[in-house]
Amino acid sequence: MTTKAMTEVKTNKLTLVQAVTDGMRTMLSEHDDILVLGEDVGQNGGVFRATEGLVHEFGEDRIIDTPLAEAGIIGTSIGLAINGFRPIAEMQFLGFVYPAYEQIMTHASRIRSRTMSKFSVPMVIRAPYGGGIRAPEIHSDSVEALFTHMPGIKVVVPSNPYDAKGLLIAAIEDPDPVLFMEPMRSYRAFKSDVPEGKYTVEIGKAATLAEGDDVTVIAWGNMVSVAQKAVEEMTKQGVSCELLDLRTLYPLDRETIVASVKKTGRVVICHEAPETGGVGNDVMALINDEAFLYLRAPMSKVAGFDTPFPFFALEEEYLPTPSRVSHAIKEAVTF
C-alpha cells in the first residue's frame, strides 16, 4: 500500500534518478544519523548524478567519497550501522558488488540472527543494475537472485520515479539491510509526478499496473516497460492482461500474486537475469504452493539466458523484448 500523497502536497516532474536523489535529500535533511558512502558520490555527484549536489548541502562528513573498495564500503557501513548510524552505501554498479559480497553475506545479513537482535544493520545498499545502455562489460549484470537467496536482506527494485523515492525512504526506515536496485535503463527514460517531502511505498507490496482476466504478466525494474509494451499489444489482440510490477523481490507480495493468478489462471514472468536460479523460480514456487489448482496453462518465463551478460553488440539479443513476452502470452492463452 502506498501512503497517499495529500492533495495539497506539491509534486515535481522527476526522472527516476532524480527521484532517488530527492529521496536521499528528504531523509538526510530530517535525520543526522543518515550518511551516504561510496565511490565518486561527493564532488562528482555520482557517476549517474544520483548524489548530485548532496555534498554541498550536507557536507563531506555526511556525503563521503570513499577509497575504491567495495568490501571496505560495506564493511565500514556495517560498523557504522551497528553503532548508531544509518548508512546509504552506493555500489557504483551492481556488477561491482562482488568484493562486498562476503561482507553482506556473512555479516550484514546475519548480524541480527547471530546476536539475537542485540546488533542490527539498518543499511541501504543502492546499486544501478541492468542492461540496455551499451555499457562496457560487467556493468550490466542483473544479479538480484544472489541477494534474494541470501537470508537476512530485503531486495527492492522500483520501475518508476514515484516508487523510487517512496521505496528508498521505506528502505532507509527499514530496521534491516535492504538492497535497493536502480534500473539504469530507466534512470532517465521518462519523468513523472513525485510528491515533495516524505512518503513511503511499502516494502513487500507489488503494484497492479493493468487489470485483466486472461493472464498475469509479472515483471520488475527495467522489464516493467518491456512487459507493458507486450501487454498493450496483446490487449489490442483481445487478450485481457493483468500486469504486476513486483517492486519488492524479497519478500514477495504473496497476496497480490496469488489473488491475480487465481483470477487469470495463466502466468508469464519476465526478468533480465539468467533463467536458472532467477527470482522467477520463486514466484513460480509460490504460485505452485498457493494457487496450483487455478492454473490453466504451464507458467512460463521470459528471461536472460544462462550466459554471462553479453558485450553490448549482442545485448539486444539477450534482453527480453516485448515480442518475446507477447509470444509467451500467446502460448499461455492458446495452451
Partner 1 sequence: MTEMENQFPIVQVMDGDGHIVDASYHLTESFIKEMYSKMLRARTLDKKSVNLQRQGRIGTYAPFEGQEAAQVGSASALEEGDWMFPTYRDHAATLTFGHSVSTIMLYWKGRVEGCVPPEGKNIFPPAVPIATQLPHATGAALAEKRKGTDRVAIAYFGDGATSEGDFHEGLNFASVFKAPVVFFNQNNGYAISVPIEKQMNSKTIAQKGLAYDMDAIRVDGNDVLAVYFETQKAIEKARNGEGPTLIEAVTWRYGAHTTADDPSKYRNQELSLEKRDKIDPLLRLERYMKKQGFWDDAWKDQVAKECDLEIEQAVEEMENFPEPDVNDLFDHVFKEPTWTIKKQKEAYLSQKRGETV
Ligand X SMILES: Cc1ncc(C[n+]2csc(CCOP(=O)(O)OP(=O)(O)O)c2C)c(N)n1
By C-beta, is 170 or 230 nearer to partner 1? 230
- Of these partners, ligand X, partner 1, none, which one is at the site of residue 290 (CB under 5 to 8 Å by kind)? none
Report if residue 294 touches ligand X, rule: CB under 6 A. Answer: no
Report if residue 307 touches partner 1, rule: CB under 8 A. Answer: yes
Please report how close the Cβ of residue 3 comes to ligand X at its closest, in angstroms: 35
Binding positions for partner 1, 133-192, rule CB under 8 A: 134-139
Total of residues contacting partner 1 (CB under 8 A): 41
In DSSP notation, 279-335 reads: HHHHHHHHHHHHHGGG-SS--EEEEE-SSPPPPGGGHHHHS--HHHHHHHHHHHHT-
Residue selected from 25, 49, 96, 259 as contacting ligand X according to rule CB under 6 A: 96
Please name the residues in contact with 245: beta carbons below 8 A apart, sequence gap of 6 or more.
159, 163, 206, 207, 209, 219, 220, 224
Report if residue 327 touches partner 1, rule: CB under 8 A. Answer: yes
Please report how close the Cβ of residue 91 comes to ligand X at its closest, in angstroms: 8
Report if residue 197 touches partner 1, rule: CB under 8 A. Answer: no
For the chain, helix, strand, coil in percent to 5 are 40, 20, 40
Please report how close the Cβ of residue 40 comes to ligand X at its closest, in angstroms: 7
By C-beta, is 39 or 242 nearer to ligand X? 39
Cis peptide before 151 (omega within 30 of 0): no
Number of Cβ atoms within 10 Å of the Cβ of 120:
15
Please report how close the Cβ of residue 139 comes to ligand X at its closest, in angstroms: 8
For the record, the C-alpha cell of 159 comes out as 520501475
Please name the residues in contact with 256: beta carbons below 8 A apart, sequence gap of 6 or more.
205, 206, 208, 244
Catalytic site residues? 139
Contact 154, 122 (CB under 8 A): no
Angle made by CA atoms 40, 190, 142, in degrees to the nearest 5: 55
Residue selected from 11, 69, 190, 211 as contacting partner 1 according to rule CB under 8 A: 69
Q: Contact positions toward ligand X, by CB under 6 A?
A: 39, 68, 70, 92, 96, 99
Q: Contact positions toward partner 1, by CB under 8 A?
A: 39-40, 42-45, 47, 65, 67-72, 95-96, 98-99, 134-139, 275-276, 305-308, 310-315, 317-318, 323-324, 327
